[in-house]
Every structure is written in C-alpha cells, then in structure tokens.
Amino acid sequence: MNIRLRRRLLSLASMAALVISLMIQWPATAMASHAPSVTPVAFAAMTDKMSAKAKEAEGKMQSAYGEVTGDTGQQIKGKAKQVQASAMNAKEAVKDGTRSAARKAGDASNKLANKIK
C-alpha cells in the first residue's frame, strides 16, 4: 500500500472517529443542561439536523473510500447518502419555516388581542 493511500485511509478513520464521538456525546450534553429554552420540539429538530449532518459525513467518507480503493459501488452509495442528507436538510428547513410562520402568526394575534382589551 503506498503512503498516499495509507494517509488517506488514516484521515478517513480519524474523521469517522470524530463524527462518532460527537454523536455519542452531544445528546447526553444537551439533555444534562436542562435548559428551559430547549423544548422537546426544539430538541427533536436538533437531533434531526444532527442525523442529517451525520448522514452527510458518512456519505462523504464512503465516497472518499470508494475513490481511494477504486470501488465505484462505494462511491455511488456515498453520493446517494449525501443526496439523502440534502433531502433531510430540506425537510428540516421547511419545518423551521413553518414553525417561524406559526410563531409570527401567534405573536400577531396576541398583539391584536392586547389592543382589543
């Protein structure tokens, strides 16, 4: 195995270890904080966004592994996971926009109700 291939595989393994350690530690840290501003809905949204980021990283690593080894099947699977992550991110963006619109409508109705009083 040549030195460039060895370095590339080592960097992929390091990236995978970092992603896994972040995924394991992050939910425990978020739950331990008991911050009043973190609602179950917000926590679920953060978890979904983390899942999308993890899927994207997994896809990049798999695609890079396919490039290093010359395995086009791994490259295609990696690219497919990246596309799936993009769809997950788009879904989260729509959900965030819907929540924001609902929040603005609620604020407007509260202001109107206060003016009527």
Please tell me the predicted confidence (pLDDT) of residue 115.
83
What integer is the mean pLDDT of 24-52?
62
Mean of pLDDT over the chain: 78
Instruction: Count Cβ atoms below 10 Å from residue 16 Cβ, excluding itself.
Output: 15
Say if residues 9 and 68 touch (Cβ distance below 8 Å). Answer: yes
> Is residue 3 exposed (0-12), middle (13-18) or buried (19+ Cβ within 10 Å)?
exposed
pTM: 0.57
Which range is least confidently modeled, 21-30, 45-54, 88-97?
21-30
Per-residue confidence band for 12, with pLDDT thresholds at 50, 70 and 90:
confident
Taking the C-alpha atoms of residue 68 and residue 92, their distance in angstroms, rounded to an integer, is: 32
Higher pLDDT, 62 or 35: 62
Reply yes or no on whether the pLDDT at 111 is more than 60. yes
What integer is the mean pLDDT of 53-76?
88
Looking at residue 68, its amino acid is: V
Please tell me the predicted confidence (pLDDT) of residue 44.
65
Taking the C-alpha atoms of residue 95 and residue 48, their distance in angstroms, rounded to an integer, is: 11
